[in-house]
Amino acid sequence: MGLDSSVLDKTSRLAGRIVEYGNLAEKYVIIVPAVAEKSAALSGNVQAHGVSGKNKISKLLGIYRLAQKIIEDEKIDIVTVQDQYYLGLIACLLARKSNIGLELQIHGFEKYRALRKIIAKFVIPKADSIRTVSQRLKKRLVEEFGVKEEKITVVPIYVEVSDKRLEVRDKRNNQFVFLTIGRLVSVKNIGLQIMAMAEVVKMHLEAELWIVGDGPERRRLEDSVKRLDLEGQVKFFGWQDDVSNFYNQADVFLLTSDAEGWPLVIVEAAGFGLPIIMTDMGSAGEFIINGENGIVISLNNQQALEQAMIRLMENDDLRKKLGDSAREAFSRLPSKEEILRRYKESWEKAIHNPNVPN
């Protein structure tokens, strides 16, 4: 069970990944909430289903009914879900009712509050195996939720990028580009970057902030840019299917989120050899090491962000060192084959030991 309806498009990157996961199993079925009812055969043994409804509750009930039927008809061995909240609860109930294994995929704890917090504390300890993206998250699962270490498999997200960074600097009229890519939602705290830019451009008029992505925060962020008179320095590019050209034109990558698991964009930026400034969450301290292959700042610290941005603008050697080291760290990440092997290992933990309590 997943949350991303793009899997219903056979040409999407997600659909391609799901087909590879399906190659590890005899049968692989994915169910997602969707705007309209839709099914798609992604490969000979991989099927995707989108379930619609008038509201979230009706969608969840529809997912539950469809999943129950598929589990019975196809003799499914394990239910795996990329959510520890509402969809995770549905998966947990199904796994227990059908006496099959339950794997949780935990990429972070965004929106971990109120009812979601209650559900997570109920669901997580009941998982037969948990696949997570970082040692930081593994530690939290052990300490806060009492999950046994042997149930947890740590698998970073696999990212494939071009082999070398293009040299396009001479085409850009000497502007210095800070790049951020992601959903424009409050947890990403992109407003912090805009406020920092207001101070950076006082010293460096050539600085620009490129924001690639879309979301509910876009209008508020655009209003902030106008209010700070930064329309010439901050540019919005909206959602882009191919972001490689943006990575290739950037000088520094920024991530100022308040919460993350293993940010895909950080891995991509490192793969393109970009020096990275990021807040102390997610893969910070594990993949991006402060002073070695990036600069890690405390959460919501505008002054530290400004200082780091100016420091990298003014120090070409440091910028190159951090970018080269980030690319080297990217090259040491597990291969696609190793990651797929760990995925299968996590499934087998659930299949071999269903319903074993913590």
Average pLDDT in the 82-108 region?
95
Residue-level pLDDT at 145: 97
Please tell me the total number of residues recorded for the chain in this structure. Answer: 358
Q: What is the DSSP letter of 213?
A: -
Together in a domain, 343 and 324: no
Does residue 141 sit in the same domain as residue 185? Answer: no
Q: What pLDDT digit, counting tens, does each position of 267-324 carry?
A: 999 999 999 999 999 889 899 999 999 999 999 999 999 999 999 999 999 999 999 9
- pTM of structure: 0.84
Task: Name the band, by pLDDT with cuts 50, 70 and 90, for residue 162.
Answer: low
Encoded amino acid at 89, one letter: L
Question: Is the same domain home to 19 and 134?
Answer: yes
Least confident of 101-110, 161-170, 308-317: 161-170
CATH number of the domain bearing residue 32: 3.40.50.2000
| Rounded mean pLDDT, 220-237 | 97
- Kindly state whether residue 304 falls inside one of the protein's structural domains: yes
pLDDT of residue 160: 77
Q: Is the distance from CB of 69 to CB of 97 less than 8 angstroms?
A: no
Phi and psi at 95, nearest 5°, equal -60, -40
Sole residue written with tokens 């099914």: 39
- The whole-number average pLDDT for the span 153-160 is 87
* 181 and 288 in a common domain: yes
Please tell me whether residues 115 and 48 are part of one structural domain. Answer: yes
Burial of 17 (0-12, 13-18, 19+ CB in 10 A): middle
97 lies in the same domain as 187: no
Q: How many domains does the chain have?
A: 2
Q: Which domain holds residue 327?
A: 169-331
Task: Give 258 or 356, the one with higher predicted confidence.
Answer: 258
Residue 357 lies in a domain: no
Same domain assignment for residues 208 and 109? no
* Residue pLDDT, tens place only, 95-105: 999 999 999 99
- Cα separation, 131 vs 343, in Å, equals 8
Same-domain check for residues 179 and 293: yes
